[in-house]
Structure 1
Amino acid sequence: MSVKFSRYLPVLDWGRRYDREALSNDMIAAVIVTIMLIPQSLAYALLAGLPPEAGIYASIVPILLYAVFGTSRALAVGPVAVVSLMTAAAIGNIAETGTMGYALAALTLAFLSGAMLLVMGVFKLGFLANFLSHPVIAGFITASGILIAASQVKHILGVRSEGHTLIEVVETLIAHLGETNAITLVIGVSATAFLFWVRKGLKPRLRALGLGPKMADVLTKAGPVAAVFVTTLATWALGLSERGVSVVGEVPQSLPPLTMPSFSPDLLSQLFVPALLISVIGFVESISVAQTLAAKKRQRIDPDQELIGLGAANIGAAFTGGYPVTGGFARSVVNFDAGAETPAAGAFTAVGLAIAAVALTPLVFFLPKATLAATIIVAVLSLVDFSILKKTWTYSKADFFAVAATILLTLGFGVETGVSAGVILSVGLHLYKTSKPHVAEVGLVPGTQHFRNINRHKVETHEALLTLRVDESLYFVNARYLEDLIQDRLASGQKIRNVVLMCSAVNEIDYSALESLEAINTRLKDLGIGLHLSEVKGPVTDKLGKTHFLDQLNGRVFQSQYDAWRSLTGAPRPLPASESAA
């Protein structure tokens, strides 16, 4: 019974082995991550079009719930840039930013996303995320990074800007360029330059001054806090808010409130597709980070349980004033590098953020929005990776066009269109690649029992025997392709008497493919040609055994291709090693 419970409550597993050393490591990691998350959470909430406190609220209860239900020891759950942008895009056309309807839509979006993730987890549907290919995901994240950075330029300039596509954002920025606030521009550019320098130059400088690697790393991660402190102090001391510098303003000094998402059928229907896209993208980002970090410590991640953990986190956000969350790359890496041993580090981080929500929020009243924008820009530009275009162009033109299309569609039509196109392109790319499976004509390598492609190796062939190695499972998309290939090969004029399908790489034959095989068998039988199978895997044989195909087969099923070769060509059986030596 305990094993069953620990399957759905991983906390029961790692909690039994929790010790003082793990506690110490988790506490240190929590302090470092909390320092980083305070400005980041405020910034991502503004990116989503929500009040800044929503970012902190979305980083407290969701983290606690993930610590109970999640399987990753280092994943840090909360608001992330891409999901924040997708949230703004999803509810921007439903309600006006800053209204109660907008906040309610954000809560409902988190609830819908959480419910979908929970359902997927319970029914073990984590494999669905595999339908998004990595190149397409990389293209989507690159385009999203550009969109996010462009959307924050308005805060750097101190002007108004709207739009969900790159063209719309750039057009409105140009239209309002003359309204640029010089002081805001100085703050924004200075903060951006400082944060870029912190990322690249601060740690080497601190190490050169004699600081240890851990302390240097902590101070580097605290760079955004320094930017927040200096610009907030300057804005307050110099009265810059009265000179046009936009500030965060009053943030409620409280723990996350109890909230209720809407269950209006109309709103739920409007948010269903965006919630599904956010769920898929959020899960893909989260599981990628979790598995990468787990591999470094030889730990195991359960994708289906991760769906449950993320689902619980999002539902928690919906009832505590937050918005959709997932496992973030930057915060998770910081958590891992800081020495987090268990999900308890996330729970301690939640406590730290709760203390900040109660005690520190008055201190951010004069925090310039330009500083938060700089924090976002520096964070998301690290996600932009145009090298994926060069890599895919060199390796696979089909992957290149899928990546390029995803980037262009995301920039030109918005994140929802981009991610929808990404899913369609990923599935389409898979279907395209498998619709024409690699089928090689093979021959016997002299002196061995191995068979290789006749176009790549010097092999023995027989004029009356055609052996085709099928290097893909057979299903409805590619079934007809094999029919056409055999037909074309028979039309070449060679006096073929037997055809062997070498099935060592065939893991599945669906009903459409079975019908194609039956059609091939009938056609070859009418021509007086035998159809044989070799090296058929057990599960495939079992499925074929449930039909009449094997009984009606105009040939035999051979255990090995060499047996088929020897039987159909009349080649002598090789002598045993002892007789050969004699």
Structure 2
Amino acid sequence: MSRLIPAWLQHYPKEKLGADVAAGLIVTILVIPQSLAYALLAGLPPQLGLYVSILPVIAYALLGSSMVQAVGPVAITAIMTYSVLSPLATPTTPGYIMLAAALSLLSGLMLLACGLLRLGFLSQLLSRPVISGFISGSAVLIVVSQLKYLLGIAPQGESSGDVLLDLLTRLGESHLPTLAIGLTALVLLLVVRSALAGWLVRAGLSAGRAAFVVRLMPLLIVLAGLGAVVAFDLDRLNGVDVVGGVVAGLPEFNFFLPGLDTVQQLLRPAFVMALIGMVQGITMAQALAIKRRERIDANAELVGLGAANVVAAFSGGMPVGGGTSRSAINVAAGAQTPLASILSALAMVGVVLGAAQWFERLPLAVLAASIIVAALSMIDLRALRQAWAYDRADALALLCTAGGVLLFGLEAGIGLGIVLSMATLLLRVSTPHIAVVGRVPGTEHFRNVARYEVETLPGVLFVRIDERLFFGNLGAVEQRLEQELALIEAPHDLVLVMSGVNLMDTTAVEVFAELNQDLAARGIRLHLAEVKGPVQDRLMKSAFWNALTGEVFLSANAAYAKLAPAEVWCPEI
């Protein structure tokens, strides 16, 4: 029985109870507008955002490994849900809700299977630049999708580009009361995010309290927008669009199995959603764990995220994930253990039973402003600058992934990013770094002749290979060796420094055996130096090892000592 109870709960420290209770209540209050907004972003009835903030949150808290990561509706899964399902059904209809539930179920089962099969390492399939590009591109799509609510215009066109162009050409048709309340909320939220913390700290508030006030302000702005609509009857007298009916009461637990046609339609987008959720969830959990000097289990994270989505499918029908902003609120509120999330879920029960209707007159323009500000923070220009300065290939992968998302959609964008990542990897390993090296005078160290003043031996070529050797890069290696041999006069010894080689496949062994024979026919001996243990273990089982015309040296310096003429070698080194 004790195995069914998580370790943190079995040994729960009582001194943390107060902090967890306070954090749970604070998080519940602060994420209500966010939950409503992301449900609308996904094309779902607003109350579903509240529903999936209950049982899925508890499932993750009991099965995940992070102490403070908060699960719930998130922007990425919301925009992916809308992008995938809007061509298949009309948003907010029963058929659309059923498809959203099926998408949550399929992606959850995939995550759950990966966790149970201990495939957490798959979260490393996507490089950070590709993930950053995908999230940044998705953020732009989110911003475009919310402009219609901010402007009060019903746009025409199917693609985001068409919608944006239509909105830009029809700015003069904006609904002025909607635009006024939306822009006011947008400006206030931007000021809060960019400057309020600094102002509060300079005013004498501690950094922790200033951060908490910043987290609290979006809720106050949303409530102010709600108050303005109610006070001036803006929805009834001026036509300001509001959330509308929010169904009160607990969600029903509806067990279902999607049909074969539905599975076929949603299998690929569910895989993409699971992959993105896996990477984003584990990355966020790891970042939080590092700050708190804790450790997470990637496989347990997948089990927790998968179970949360499976439960969400049956009790709300909206996919969920590890939320960056939710987790930040959870940490800022002082959460110490997953009990804070469980208490937050229980408090949300009270909200859906008795307070959900309070938000029916919440203006969509204010929710759109809050979503836009959250989306703008997801556009990672810093990652682009760093990648451009460090590695242009990674920067291009980021840009192309973001561009692919904007031009071709979310699935095509992430597919393009994966292809570019693999292509970049293949390009790098197929063109290995190879350096001609010599001995630094007075030492036993060998360095690149192009970078250092070094000593070399007449007729002896020392070459260091800094890559694993496999069928894809052997042509480049052979070509470079021939070029370097042609540059020295009367070569008689070639020493391959293998310190950077951690693998040689069968093709590489055969090619080196042929190279050994070819060099022998030209009067050149082939030597190996600094061969790694696992590589040597395999080589010793090959015919190449016994046919080697030269020797195998423990170090490049040992080879230098053996091959140097007596008048060149200095024994004292």
Counterparts of 2:547 and 2:308, CA distance in 1: 56
Counterparts of 1:160 and 1:512, CA distance in 2: 62
Query: Please, which moves more after superposition, 542-551 or 444-453?
Result: 542-551
Query: Please, which moves more after superposition, 185-194 or 486-495?
Result: 486-495
Q: Deviations over 1:216-236 (max 9, x none)?
A: 443332222222222223323
Amino acid at match of 2:131: I
Amino acid at match of 1:555: G
Q: Deviations over 1:294-329 (max 9, x none)?
A: 112221122222222211111121121232222111
2:486 is matched with which residue: 486, 491, 494? 491
Counterparts of 2:571 and 2:287, CA distance in 1: 52
Counterparts of 2:510 and 2:260, CA distance in 1: 44
Where does the alignment leave 5 or more consecutive residues of structure 1 unmatched? 578-582
SS at match of 1:524: helix
Alignment correspondent of 2:7: 13
User: Against the structure 1 CA distance between its residues 345 and 181, is the aligned structure 2 distance closer, same or farther, given a 3 Å change threshold?
Assistant: same
SS at match of 2:6: helix
SS at match of 2:487: coil
Where does the alignment leave 5 or more consecutive residues of structure 2 unmatched? none
Q: Deviations over 1:18-40 (max 9, x none)?
A: 11222222222222222221100
2:63 pairs with 1:69: yes
2:156 pairs with 1:156: no
Alignment correspondent of 1:580: none
Counterparts of 1:78 and 1:476, CA distance in 2: 46
User: Against the structure 1 CA distance between its residues 202 and 389, is the aligned structure 2 distance closer, same or farther, given a 3 Å change threshold?
Assistant: closer
1:467 is matched with which residue: 459, 462, 469? 462
Alignment correspondent of 2:134: 140
Counterparts of 1:547 and 1:117, CA distance in 2: 43
SS at match of 1:62: helix
CA contact (8 A) 1:159 1:179 kept: yes
CA contact (8 A) 2:208 2:332 kept: no
2:287 pairs with 1:292: yes
2:223 pairs with 1:229: yes
User: Against the structure 1 CA distance between its residues 93 and 82, is the aligned structure 2 distance closer, same or farther, given a 3 Å change threshold?
Assistant: same
Query: Please, which moves more after superposition, 242-251 or 390-399?
Result: 390-399
Following TM superposition, by how much is the alpha carbon of 1:377 offset from its aligned partner in structure 2, in angstroms? 0.7
Counterparts of 2:256 and 2:495, CA distance in 1: 61
CA contact (8 A) 1:140 1:406 kept: yes
Counterparts of 1:486 and 1:203, CA distance in 2: 60
Alignment correspondent of 2:85: 91
Amino acid at match of 1:315: V
Q: Deviations over 1:481-501 (max 9, x none)?
A: 212221222333532222222
Following TM superposition, by how much is the alpha carbon of 1:428 offset from its aligned partner in structure 2, in angstroms? 1.4
Map residues 101-250 of structure 1 onto 2, 5 A cutoff: 101-161=95-155, 165-174=159-168, 177=171, 179-204=173-198, 214-242=208-236, 243-250=238-245
SS at match of 1:222: helix
Counterparts of 1:93 and 1:490, CA distance in 2: 62
2:339 pairs with 1:332: no
Map residues 524-539 of structure 1 onto 2, 5 A cutoff: 524-539=519-534
2:370 is matched with which residue: 371, 375, 378? 375
Map residues 163-562 of structure 1 onto 2, 5 A cutoff: 165-174=159-168, 177=171, 179-204=173-198, 214-242=208-236, 243-492=238-487, 494-562=489-557
Counterparts of 2:470 and 2:545, CA distance in 1: 18
Following TM superposition, by how much is the alpha carbon of 1:47 offset from its aligned partner in structure 2, in angstroms? 0.8
2:19 is matched with which residue: 25, 37, 48? 25
Counterparts of 1:163 and 1:507, CA distance in 2: 54
SS at match of 2:495: strand
Amino acid at match of 1:298: R
Following TM superposition, by how much is the alpha carbon of 1:178 offset from its aligned partner in structure 2, in angstroms? 5.2
CA contact (8 A) 2:461 2:485 kept: no
Amino acid at match of 1:565: Y
| TM-score (norm. length: structure 2) | 0.93
CA contact (8 A) 2:459 2:492 kept: yes
User: Against the structure 1 CA distance between its residues 516 and 90, is the aligned structure 2 distance closer, same or farther, given a 3 Å change threshold?
Assistant: farther
Q: Which segments of structure 1 move beyond 6 Å, counting only runs of 4 or more? A: none
Counterparts of 2:494 and 2:297, CA distance in 1: 44
CA contact (8 A) 2:111 2:306 kept: yes
CA contact (8 A) 2:510 2:544 kept: no
For the aligned residue pairs, the C-alpha RMSD in angstroms reads 2.5
Following TM superposition, by how much is the alpha carbon of 1:59 offset from its aligned partner in structure 2, in angstroms? 2.0
User: Against the structure 1 CA distance between its residues 529 and 75, is the aligned structure 2 distance closer, same or farther, given a 3 Å change threshold?
Assistant: same
SS at match of 2:436: strand
2:40 pairs with 1:46: yes
CA contact (8 A) 1:89 1:164 kept: no
CA contact (8 A) 1:125 1:304 kept: yes
Counterparts of 1:68 and 1:527, CA distance in 2: 69
Q: Deviations over 1:183-205 (max 9, x none)?
A: 11111111112222222344455
User: Against the structure 1 CA distance between its residues 209 and 158, is the aligned structure 2 distance closer, same or farther, given a 3 Å change threshold?
Assistant: same
Following TM superposition, by how much is the alpha carbon of 1:379 offset from its aligned partner in structure 2, in angstroms? 1.0
CA contact (8 A) 1:139 1:388 kept: no
Following TM superposition, by how much is the alpha carbon of 1:209 offset from its aligned partner in structure 2, in angstroms? 6.4
Q: Deviations over 1:489-539 (max 9, x none)?
A: 233353222222212122222333333333333332333322222212222
Q: Deviations over 1:233-285 (max 9, x none)?
A: 33233332223221111112122321345422222122122112112222222
SS at match of 2:243: coil
Query: Please, which moves more after superposition, 481-490 or 506-515?
Result: 506-515
SS at match of 1:98: coil
CA contact (8 A) 1:107 1:261 kept: no
SS at match of 2:480: helix
SS at match of 1:340: coil
User: Against the structure 1 CA distance between its residues 216 and 452, is the aligned structure 2 distance closer, same or farther, given a 3 Å change threshold?
Assistant: closer
User: Against the structure 1 CA distance between its residues 123 and 483, is the aligned structure 2 distance closer, same or farther, given a 3 Å change threshold?
Assistant: farther
Counterparts of 2:159 and 2:301, CA distance in 1: 32
Following TM superposition, by how much is the alpha carbon of 1:335 offset from its aligned partner in structure 2, in angstroms? 1.6
Q: Deviations over 1:126-169 (max 9, x none)?
A: 33332322222222222221221111010011122366644122
Task: Count how many residue pairs are aligned between Structure 1 and Structure 2.
Answer: 571
Amino acid at match of 1:520: L
Identity %: 43
Counterparts of 2:256 and 2:82, CA distance in 1: 17
SS at match of 1:531: strand
Q: Deviations over 1:38-97 (max 9, x none)?
A: 100111111111111121222222221111221111211112112211111111222221
User: Against the structure 1 CA distance between its residues 511 and 84, is the aligned structure 2 distance closer, same or farther, given a 3 Å change threshold?
Assistant: farther
